[in-house]
């Protein structure tokens, strides 16, 4: 109980200060962001706690989490590679791109590589339709867009992520 509130007391009060007291619920997005940054995904406890802070129902909080593809209620890879397969991208070969990429990695869309590093997800339009195939990588550091992709270039990106992780591991 109140793990976030204890651990991030100051940050939470800074967030809450931005909104009028009768609209505490407005703080739900930044609080979810904070909780996901902390744990990589949104646990039931975190949602419950955010519901209490914002005086919302936990059902509503969960509904918001479900609506946004950048919020996750299940643990996943450290990096989430989100490939757009919506109609315009599909017309430019995004679905084949996804299929081949997955084959190369030996996983299905939605799954994570065995080392826990990378999860591939299908998402809806990311507003770069004319530069498809495209995806974004969501990581604890933020979001990066990759456009005009091929399976080869994507594998390179992945190799890069892996190398930097190992680098971090080496330093630690």
Partner 1 sequence: MVTIYIDGKPYQVDAGQNLLHICLSMGINLPYFCWHPAMGSVGACRQCAVKQFRDENDTRGRLVMACMTPAVEGLRISVQDPQAVEFRASIIEWLMENHPHDCPVCDEGGECHLQDMTVMTGHTYRHYRWKKRTFRNQNLGPFINHEMNRCIQCYRCVRFYRGFAGGRDFDAFSNHNTVYFGRKTDGVLESEFSGNLVEVCPTGVFTDKTFRKHYTRKWDLQTAPSVCVNCSLGCNTTPGERYGQLRRIRNRYNFNVNGYFLCDRGRYGYEFVNSDRRIRQARLRRNREAAFESVAPDEGLQRIKEIVKKSGRTIGIGSPRASLESNFALRTLVGPEHFFSGATVKDHELVTEAIKILRDIPSSMASLHEVETSDAALVLGEDVNNVAPMAAYALRQSVRCKPQAISQKLKISDWDDTAAREAVQDQKGPLYLATIADTRLDDMATRTFHASPQEIARLGFAVAHQISPTAPQPENLDSAALELSKMIAQDLKDAESPVVVSGCSLEEKSILYAAANVVQALRSIGKPARLFLTLPESNSLGLELLEPGSLNQAFAIAREDNVEAAIILENDLYRRSNPALLEAFFKSIPSVIVLDSLDNPTAQKADVLLPAATFAESDGTLVNNESRAQRYFQVFVPQDDIKESWVWLRAIGDALGQEEPGARKTFDGLIADMVKELPFLAPVQEISPASGFRIAGAKIPRQPHRYSGRTSMHANVSVHEPQPPQDPDSPLSFSMEGFLAEPPIEQPPASLIPEFWAPGWNSIQSLNKFQEEVSGPLIGGDPGKRIILPPDPEQAAYFDEIPEPFASRAGELLLAPLYAIYGSEELSIHTPGEAQLTPPLRLEINPRDAQQFNLTGETVLQVSVDSQVFELPLHISASIPEGTAGMICGLPEMPYVALPAWGKVTPKPVNSSTENPG
Interacting residue ranges for partner 1, rule: CB under 8 A: 22, 57-60, 62-63, 66-69, 124
> In the bound complex, what is the minimum distance in angstroms from residue 82's beta carbon to ligand FES?
10
Count CB atoms within 10 A of the CB of residue 171.
Answer: 6
Q: How far is the CB of 31 from partner 1 (least distance, A)?
A: 17
Instruction: Please list every residue from 106 through 125 that binds ligand FES, using CB under 6 A.
Output: 125
Q: Using CB atoms within 10 A of its CB, is residue 69 exposed (0-12), middle (13-18) or buried (19+)? A: middle
CB nearer ligand FES, residue 42 or residue 126: 126
Q: Give the distance from CA 93 to its chain's centroid.
A: 24
CA distance 152 to 157: 9
For residues 49 and 92, the answer to whether their CB atoms sit within 8 Å is no
CB of 146 to ligand FES, least distance (A): 12
Choose from ligand FES, partner 1, none: what does 127 bind? Cβ within 5-8 Å by kind.
ligand FES
Which residue has 């406890």 as its token pair? 45
Binds ligand FES by CB under 6 A, chosen from 84, 101, 118, 157: 84
> What string marks each residue from 4 to 43 as x (binds ligand FES by CB under 6 A) or -?
----------------------------------------
Complex with partner 1: residue 87 or 143, whichever CB lies closer: 87
- CA gap 119, 16 in Å, rounded: 33
Q: Which two tokens stand for residue 13?
A: 């009060």
Among the listed residues 66, 60, 34, 30, the one whose alpha carbon sits nearest the alpha carbon of residue 48: 60
Q: Judged by CB under 6 A, which of 34, 65, 132, 151 binds ligand FES?
A: 132
Our finding on whether 83 is near ligand FES (CB under 6 A) is no
CA dist 144 and 44 (Å) reads: 28
The residues of the shown chain that bind ligand FES, judged by CB under 6 A, are: 84, 86, 88-89, 125-129, 132, 134
């Amino acid at each position: 109980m109140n793990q976030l509130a204890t651990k991030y007391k100051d940050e939470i009060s800074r967030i809450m200060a931005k909104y009028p007291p009768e609209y505490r619920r407005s703080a739900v997005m930044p609080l979810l962001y904070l909780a996901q940054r902390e744990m990589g995904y949104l646990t039931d406890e975190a949602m419950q706690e955010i519901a209490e802070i914002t005086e919302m129902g936990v059902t509503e909080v969960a509904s918001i989490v479900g609506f946004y593809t950048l919020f996750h209620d299940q643990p996943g890879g450290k990096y989430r590679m989100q490939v757009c397969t919506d109609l315009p991208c599909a017309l430019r070969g995004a679905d084949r791109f996804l299929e081949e990429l997955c084959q190369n990695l030996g996983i299905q869309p939605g799954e994570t590589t065995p080392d826990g590093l990378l999860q591939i997800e299908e998402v809806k339009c990311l507003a770069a339709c004319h530069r498809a195939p495209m995806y974004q990588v969501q990581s604890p550091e933020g979001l990066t867009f990759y456009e005009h992709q091929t399976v080869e270039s994507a594998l390179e990106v992945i190799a890069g992520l892996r190398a930097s992780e190992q680098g971090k591991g080496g330093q630690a």
